[in-house]
Amino acid sequence: MSLQDREIVLGVTGGIAAYKAVEVLRRLVQQGANVHVVMTRSAQEFVGPLTFQTLARNPVITEMFALTQETDIQHISLARRADLVLIAPATANVIGKFAHGIADDFLTTLLLATRAPILMAPAMNPEMYANGIVQDNIASLRARQVRFIPPGAGETACNEVGVGRLAEVSAIVEAVERFFLQGRDLVGKKVLVTAGPTEEPLDPVRFLSNPSSGKMGYALAEASQNRGAQVVLVSGPTLLAPPPNVDFYPIKTALEMRATVMRELESSDVVIKAAAVADYRPKTMFTSKIKKREGELVVQLERNPDILAEIGSQKRHQVLVGFAAETDDLLANARAKVLQKNLDMIVANNVRSTEIGFRSNENKVLLIYPDGSIEDLPKMSKREVADAILDRVVELVRRRAGADGTRP
């Protein structure tokens, strides 16, 4: 009973795959979930509400029904109650409406009103799924933390072959189970995350820095916190608000970052260094603004400590994850860094691309391990990348606990 007492809203939209939602519902109920089914008008053309109602043992909400019940503002109460909203199948239409904030029926209104996490399992004709408009809508929802269960490939009801078939029922149910499991898999662990750029002052009004937005590190801090970890976020200057309930230490320079990180290191179980630390700082910090003169200005730089390498040489029980930002030879450079800095994993991304990496909401990364193995992850929102990284971190923490026998 992996879903005991979970409140799940199952939104069913109008596609031929609507009949598979019946099986999804049956499996969720079997696992102990309390499921509230919401059907769009067109979904009811494919399957009758009575089938869902009988299996869910809860009234099925249809558009018509909702209108007569509007006095108890049902979409708001359900939006508040839900632990998760699952849309399966999700048509191009519902994805498009949600991506553009359109709320013209019960389900789309609930989607806008809820703060519960949302999982969508798209199903549509392959040409529609491949259409750039649909893909843009999916990307825009992903950037807003909506998660997707990707459709499968094969022959669809319209006799076309390609990607667009609703994911297997078992994959959908597993994604729901994984979602709820994730909530708890870092309980009792302390995760130290560094994020953002550092600023290395040259004079009171100038500094050396880089375009890191901090988005990747903040997504990691938030995801770790959601999974139950105690989170320490050490961040250079960014425009982001720190996630609630994390211990937040704003810093400016690499030296300040190093001091805070070293203080927190011993009590941490996981250290993730997503910060873009400046390798050099101006050798002299002028106490007054440098005035312009004729000719060149030569600034001497000196090396900053490599904080990650320092942690790598000192670490004992900690799982250590580094990042590698590269413009060339991504794989070779990242592989060298994972060994040189004694890391458990490195997250490598190509910062030459403008679509991913610095400042973008999306990222496409390789995960590289000290044994040379590589995982090539697809392009995802930074929040999804964060969860993918944490899935591996949890596994590494478990293995470490098994290896030294001292940690449960």
For the CB of residue 255, give the shortest distance to ligand CTP in the complex, in Å.
10
When the beta carbons of 11 and 322 are compared against ligand CTP, the nearer one is 322
Residues 89-148 that bind ligand CTP (CB under 6 A): none
And the tokens for 246? 């994390």
The reply on whether position 308 binds ligand CTP by CB under 6 A is: yes
Please state, as a whole number, how many other Cβ atoms lie within 10 Å of the Cβ of residue 227.
Answer: 23
- Reduced to 3 states (helix: H, G, I; strand: E, B; else coil), residue 165 is strand
Which range binds ligand CTP by CB under 6 A, 98-106, 144-152, 302-310, 383-391? 302-310
Name which of 247 and 279 has its Cβ closer to ligand CTP: 279
Residue 208 is a binding residue for ligand CTP (CB under 6 A)? no
- By the rule CB under 6 A, 256 interacts with ligand CTP: no
Q: Indicate the residue among 43 and 321 with the shorter CB distance to ligand CTP.
A: 321
Task: With contacts defined by CB under 6 A, name the span among 294-302, 305-313, 354-362, 370-378 that binds ligand CTP.
Answer: 305-313
The reply on whether position 166 binds ligand CTP by CB under 6 A is no
Rounded CA-CA distance 151/90 in Å is 10
Regarding 397 and contact with ligand CTP (CB under 6 A), the answer is: no
Cβ(264)–Cβ(191) below 8 Å:
no
Q: How far is the CB of 203 from ligand CTP (least distance, A)?
A: 22
- The residue among 256 and 279 lying less far from ligand CTP, judged by its C-beta, is 279
**Selected binder of ligand CTP within 110, 123, 166, 307 (CB under 6 A):** 307
Q: State whether residue 381 is helix, strand or coil.
A: strand
Q: Does 221 bind ligand CTP (CB under 6 A)?
A: no
Which CA distances in Å does 48 have to 44, 51, 61, 132?
5, 6, 12, 33
Structure tokens at 331: 């794989």
Q: Please, which residue, 60 or 231, has the CB nearer to ligand CTP?
A: 231
CA nearest 163: which of 134, 193, 194? 134
Query: Are the C-beta atoms of residues 91 and 13 closer than 8 Å to each other?
Result: yes
Mind giving me the DSSP string for 51-96?
A: HHHHHHTSPPEEHHHHHHTGGG-HHHHHHHH-SEEEEEEE-HHHHH
Say whether residue 277 binds ligand CTP (CB under 6 A): yes
Q: How far is the CB of 210 from ligand CTP (least distance, A)?
A: 9
Q: Which is nearer to ligand CTP, 6 or 335 (CB)?
A: 335
- Which range binds ligand CTP by CB under 6 A, 233-241, 303-311, 377-385, 396-404? 303-311
- Interaction between residue 322 and ligand CTP (CB under 6 A): yes
Please list the active-site residues.
158
Under rule CB under 6 A, residue 196 binds ligand CTP: no
Handedness of CA 352, 218, 210, 330 (dihedral sign): negative
Helix (H, G, I), strand (E, B), or coil: what is residue 148? strand
338 contributes a contact to ligand CTP by CB under 6 A: no
Nearest of 262, 120, 131, 284 to residue 203 by alpha carbon: 284
Return the closest-CA partner of residue 14 out of 62, 58, 63, 47: 47
Interface ranges with ligand CTP (CB under 6 A): 254, 273, 275, 277, 279, 304, 306-308, 322-325, 337
